[in-house]
Amino acid sequence: MPAYLPSTTALRALDAITRLGSVAAAATELNLTRGAVSHQIRTLEQCVGFALTERDGRGISLTQEGRQYAHEVQNLLGRLREAAQRCQNKPLAGRLTVSCNPGFAAYWLCHHIGDFVRQYPEVQLHLIAPREIGDTSHAEADLFIAFGIGDWPGQWVQKLVSLSLFPVCSPRLLNQYGGLQSVHELGKVPLLHMNDHTDWRVWLASAAACEVDAQSGLLFTDASWAQSACIAAQGVCIGDNLISSTALQSGLLVRPFMLTIDSPRSYWLVAHPHKAERPLVQAFCSWLKGKLA
């Protein structure tokens, strides 16, 4: 256990090295000598009781423990800056990193994000993609817009939007196949799948079309690829009220069947409990909910 709390100068030195990658760059930003920055890191290591940096060629890099501690330090400094802004009644400012499901980003968020930027011009917003669908492990992300059933133990979780599922296809594809008069005729056209076969399997079961092979067709790991293939008349896809709305309104896609089911999966807001309390995170969540409403 550390015997005393570290100084803010030492914490800022670690933060600067983490972001900039070198003692020299950190010294320039903090208006200190490189020796002074190194001294602050050594002092901080004595305080926390473990090594934060290690030699890496002619420079230094963070140890595994150092990266974990630096991540917490960055969160702490961010909350301190936001607290000062609130006390001074200043507009929200600072960096906000949001990990967003690619489909949600491509078909909704990227069409509306300018409104958030106009409302919060001092916020440095960074949008990143998750490593895989439903992943919420990226250390730099302050907030995740994740797709799943809401099962993220130990995290702050709120449902963002529920989805309704229904088949969509290009008008050109309908012409190619002479129309689709019944759900049973889906067996003669390629089925396009997003991530897995779940959506088609559930919809076909609800439509009592058990003879149609729910696992036939093409499987895409990205929703934008599946919808692009659908618009290009490569097959029929399960669309939803969010991702498919613009293409339906413009006539690029149509609904060959009107049966609609509730998706077992939704879009969720997920964050570490401490990060969820940050005003920047709360502001972005409120903006999202307001726009979707």
Please report, for the domain that includes residue 18, its CATH number: 1.10.10.10
Element (H, E) at 168: strand 164-168
| Token output for 91 | 């507009």
- Is position 2 within any domain? no
Q: Of 53, 86, 119, at which residue does a domain stop?
A: 86
**What range does the domain containing 53 cover?**
8-86
- Is position 57 within any domain? yes
Residue 1: its pLDDT value, please?
45
- Is position 116 within any domain? yes
Burial class of 202 by CB neighbour count within 10 A (0 to 12, 13 to 18, 19+): middle
| Token output for 240 | 């939803």
Residue pLDDT, tens place only, 248-290: 999 999 999 999 999 988 999 999 988 888 889 999 999 999 8
Same domain, 169 and 258: yes
User: CA gyration radius for the chain?
Assistant: 25
Same domain, 190 and 277: no
Same domain, 184 and 68: no
| Token output for 244 | 């498919």
Phi, psi (deg, nearest 5) at residue 167: -70, 145
Same domain, 277 and 139: yes
Positions of the chain with pLDDT under 70: 1-4, 82-90
Amino acid residing at 236: V
Q: Which CATH number characterizes residue 288's domain?
A: 3.40.190.10
H helices of the chain, where?
8-20, 23-30, 34-48, 64-87, 102-104, 110-119, 171-176, 198-206, 223-231, 245-250, 273-276, 279-292
Same domain, 258 and 184: yes
Residue 2: its pLDDT value, please?
47
Same domain, 79 and 196: no
- Is position 1 within any domain? no
Same domain, 120 and 150: yes
Q: Supply the DSSP string of 43-85, one letter for each residue.
A: HHHHHHTS--EEEETTEEEE-HHHHHHHHHHHHHHHHHHHHHH
Residue 85: its pLDDT value, please?
62
Contact (Cβ atoms closer than 8 angstroms) between residue 148 and residue 210: no
Structurally, the chain folds into a number of domains equal to 3
Q: What is the pTM of this model?
A: 0.66
- Is position 3 within any domain? no
Q: Which of 59, 62, 56 is nearest to 15 (CA)?
A: 62
